[in-house]
Chain A
């Protein structure tokens, strides 16, 4: 029982009038934690009650502290009837549980009601006394820090990056329980909010336990999502990267890293847990299967139904009479376009091995795994080509080669038992970690969520796979493990894809789902990469630097060099020698899901590139629906990729960063939206133009039309080059002595559906033209596509946009930032919908949305929209919802130009310099970042925890409720940093889930008014929580879900929003200077200065 939670209710303000007669309210407060409830006195007849309660004390164990939210309910006392609820506040006390975060939560919280929204505010003070010794405390998962930020947080240093952690928790959705028929919408919403809050807490705790087993102390890039599966339940899942973080460069601080956790776990499961909980699935990966997706301790178990679910998988393979090669052209002509795009490659390869189908996992999949032979080849050559990296590579991989082979051996048993994924959710890396980047790897699979158990069906399965299915089912029948197995499968696929690219790791990894009725698409994607193993094992950054020198990697272009062997390329690609170092081979185009590495040499500026696509689909039920979807998926993915490639060429660029492809499923259509930031990497070759080929060369006017189009395209490319300042330094073409890469594999782009062998030869005629990208116009469809390429309007002058953290080519940010969320829902006219019309509509929707954003933010120019994050959902037939969250950051135009130039020159020089200079570069970075945090960090750890003075100081600042007349500003940003400021402290993770419902939609201003108010309220609640923690900003903010449902005829609407981010304290750099010159400024940096002065 390691904790005492103390809560004090101070006052309320702006309460709503609950008593019509007196126009006043008799308010009191219930404080609930776990099963204990306290009440304040009733404060009669006031809209601004001053309760000033005693300290309510809850004695709780750490599991509850982590799982449960503190629930504060404000009520209106009524003598004769039931007390009316005014609203609630849920406070996640997790930030109080780790030593370096907040010490007290104190401030004004909006009182929230799911029907009425925010109704006044309440001032609360919360503290936690942990009266166990620190050592013991550390053994529970309480001490693990969580960060949403997908890079190493600014005031920390990564000692070891342990790897991937994941967990999921399943429960029944209260909205679908029988009781929901009789309870009020409010009760139902609150049950749901509370449940998700509980599940998030539980999930976080379990992940924490895993991290502790890996000997880590933090999770970075923590991404938690929930899937509303409707009838079949509610899944909360999370992924992250376990790390050992250190605030100082003291080598004593880190624990001896355990390199093979799975082994250790087998030896000593649980033995470090002071409080072994048989239900907590965390500690042992192998055991996880049996216990994990439900939490019996919380009595939400739903065993029977979920075992139904997995059995229902069986029918889904039936629609596959053949191997997956059928999807694209039957000829084995490579469809790959020179990029490392995965899907097309996969398909062409898998078609080589018909027997392979027996290995296909017994569920619907869009892409198929490699054949065994190929797999072996890939791994073999991978280590061969990497020559000097062979050693570390082996050490790094934590037996992954072996396990991969085992898994591919076809036994689902193994598949489930070993679960080691070399994935990182990080998108930016400490210098030296990222060695090579292979390309984007992704996998999708279509699943049915229905829970009908139909054993008879299994018997009917007569094809080659039936035994597998039976096997699978019998294996799973008594384990409610479905969801976890699904993800494991996908991750396995991702892992093998990376392997084929000669990479042993996947970075920038993320997972997502799209659910419509009972069909669910699971997606995962990441970037295959080769990492420097030193970071992943014991050893310090210093150590890894040495390693780097040995490896002699050129800075600024190293990551572009291919990790795979050029003679045994997994797919055809066009390789050249690196334009930067001239030593290694690079591909002609590079796609990644990560941020642009800081040391990358870029020419000009970057820009947001989007591919948008709709596909109609027949309405269908269950399996038929799933089949239809999985049949469509490869085409969509192919076309999305084609669009991306074309648009990239059109921009005159050669690499994509932050690529995120979202496929959304609706009742009668599928939508694909890919966003990425295009850049021109100096290391990669200049992209060729786009060439249009007509299909019927005899027609004169047609010819003319084609040439007209060609001209337009060429003009656009030229214009874009000018716009984005892409003037690659004249690379004295093909450096003297550098051999031109041998068999020049032409990269082509074909329209697969209509392709015939004639056309292939026809195209080959143009083989001689260097680098030309051929768009063949053979039908109206293709024409449409070319047109749509050209309709993308560049942002107005003064605006840039990207979906990565920073805009390549701009580095002189000024301090003004504006984070925003914009939502649009459009109704398509249901008449004669065609794919083209849909595409056009969707394109128009996205373009208009962007135009609106530019218009709205015009006063901020010159500025850049960073981290532009589009989400598409299809809430109903004919309804498309697009949600965008981004941040606009101003920059200084004049200075920016100069510095970029200087920067580019500098890095170019650096790249060509010798080893010694390379060593300096990362060192510079280190010394740059260290002093900033070393000072507060040193004291924060030791003093803050022990000294009550720290608390006192803190409280003084925020306790006097009405002292300051205005509300403190809290910045929000999806980025991990705040321009012009230094983050001095991370206060903990913010992870909030809200439901809002209305039965008076018209009165609240219709759907727009309703959602506008709700989003504003969500922002307000996030800000209030951050302010109460003592912070002044949220970084890495993300709106993970915004589910909106309306029923205008009933005048009703409901919306669910899930947001997360990291609460931080930042200090303006200008203030920092002032501070160092004068005395510590108390107002800006309350907590840190507090500790420093004590």
Chain B
């Protein structure tokens, strides 16, 4: 006796959170059944393996049917085929768009193209995440990217409106879209210590301050692209390191204030010019797309690593960066205060976040 057909359809669509997770994680029905058996559900409920198999199949089928709708979450809300309570709809969407830290680190900043999709095999082997799950996550990134890429207004709001995600998840997606659009390099070995959260933090700061939307949200352009004019202007900051007097003055201003306050004062004093040159050169180079991509590599190389090798405590980094930005206001010969603040304000936040082991 073999089961040819076995279905269960409820007027309210039944959603089993555990099975949904297994499905999202890309397990096959058989693997999912095995995992459920291991969870001890049979003992709890007195069910048989056959019942579990049938139940799992059924849920998988439902999820498969729902998947089409999950690709455009507002459709899930308006469709008539599955009657699902709003709280469950939200859960379905949120979980569907949730991604794995390990996975996102692999693709963050990469072009969301077919080429990358081909690499998913390797990512799957490397991260231990099933290929199916990798595909779903990758397709989610790509789908969100495509929808909001050309849109005006706040990136986070757009994502929230079109994908009905929670605020937190929408912010993460904004970071992913932003990184994908600007193709920031995140995969280099020296960047491996950074988490997605670190990058997402930086992305948010950059979206808030460095994009066109940051200046004027009514502008035609949007949150995804960096403000080209601003990047051009950043060249002007070069004077801070090119003009020797200015550089010396800047150093003396910082040192005066920080003397006695830093545990690594002498290291700071010796390294000041290198650090300052590093930070200003990063700014000056941002006119080239290639250098924009290397932003994080540069920041780590030029600032994070030198400080770390001298064992700066985080509090000292914070004090130094604050003072380093503020002192520029006292440089009489320097005229680009606003530009400096727009640059350094964001960069300071980013560097503090990036500065850890």
Contacts and interface: CB of A to CB of B under 8 A. Distances in A.
A848 B58 CA distance: 15
Given A1011-B7, A1015-B7, A855 B47 contact: yes
Given A14-B75, A110-B80, A856 B61 contact: no
Contacts of B48: 848, 851
A852 B9 contact: no
B55 A1008 contact: no
Interface in A473-516: none
A825 B9 CA distance: 15
Contacts of A121: 80
A1044 B14 CA distance: 24
Given A110-B81, A824-B3, A851-B48, A1019 B8 contact: no
B338 interface: no
A821 B80 contact: no
Given A820-B8, A827-B2, A1019 B45 contact: no
B61 to A, nearest CB: 5
Contact of B9 (A821, A844, A969): A821
B47 to A, nearest CB: 5
- Top 6 nearest A-B pairs (CB, nearest first) are A825-B5, A820-B10, A819-B11, A1015-B9, A825-B4, A1012-B7
A1 interface: no
B51 A851 contact: yes
B65 interface: yes
Interface residues of B, number: 39
Given A852-B55, A1016-B65, A1020-B80, A971 B11 contact: yes
Interface in A1036-1076: 1044, 1046
14 contacts: A818-B10, A818-B14, A821-B9, A826-B1, A826-B3, A827-B4, A858-B45, A966-B78, A967-B79, A972-B11, A1011-B7, A1012-B61, A1016-B13, A1020-B82
Interface of B: 1-14, 45-48, 50-52, 54-55, 57-58, 61-62, 64-65, 75, 77-83, 85-86
A820 B62 CA distance: 14
A1013 interface: yes
Interface in A100-131: 108, 110, 118, 121
A845 B83 CA distance: 29
A754 interface: no
Contacts of B4: 825-827, 879, 1007, 1046
B64 A1005 contact: yes
A789 interface: no
A263 B78 CA distance: 57
Contacts of B12: 818
A480 B78 CA distance: 50
Interface string A10-23: 00011000000000
Contacts of B7: 822-824, 1008, 1011-1012, 1015
Contacts of B83: 967, 969-970, 1019-1020, 1023
Given A14-B79, A858-B45, A1019 B1 contact: no
A1016 B5 CA distance: 15
B2 A818 contact: no
A818 B83 CA distance: 11
User: Would you call the interface of chain A mostly helix, strand, loop, or mixed?
Assistant: mixed
Contact of B51 (A852, A1012, A1046): A852
A74 interface: no
Given A1016-B65, A1024-B80, A822 B11 contact: no
Nearest to A887: B11
A965 interface: yes
Contact of B81 (A827, A829, A970, A1017): A1017
B75 to A, nearest CB: 7
Interface residues of A, number: 55
A1016 B9 contact: yes
A1009 B61 contact: yes
B25 to A, nearest CB: 21
A819 B10 contact: yes
Contact of B14 (A110, A856, A1005, A1011): A856
Given A13-B78, A1023-B83, A826 B2 contact: yes
A13 B80 CA distance: 12
B9 A1008 contact: no
Given A819-B10, A971-B11, A1019-B11, 17 more contacts: A14-B75, A121-B80, A818-B10, A818-B14, A823-B7, A824-B3, A844-B1, A848-B54, A851-B47, A852-B55, A967-B77, A970-B83, A1009-B65, A1012-B9, A1012-B61, A1020-B82, A1024-B80
A819 B48 CA distance: 24
A371 B11 CA distance: 51
Contacts of B8: 820-822, 852-853, 856
A459 interface: no
A109 B4 CA distance: 32
A824 B6 contact: yes
Nearest to A797: B46
A352 interface: no
A110 B83 CA distance: 14
B54 A852 contact: yes
A202 to B, nearest CB: 29
A740 interface: no
Contact of B45 (A118, A796, A1016): A796
A1020 to B, nearest CB: 4
A972 B81 CA distance: 14
A826 B2 CA distance: 5
B81 A118 contact: yes
A1017 B83 CA distance: 11
Contact of A108 (B2, B51, B61, B80): B80
A583 B148 CA distance: 82
A983 B83 CA distance: 21
A1023 B7 CA distance: 20
Interface in A802-821: 818-821
A85 B54 CA distance: 37
Nearest to A858: B45
Contacts of A1008: 5-7, 57, 61
Contacts of A14: 75, 78-79
B5 A1011 contact: yes
B45 A855 contact: yes
Given A851-B48, A852-B55, A972-B11, A1007 B78 contact: no
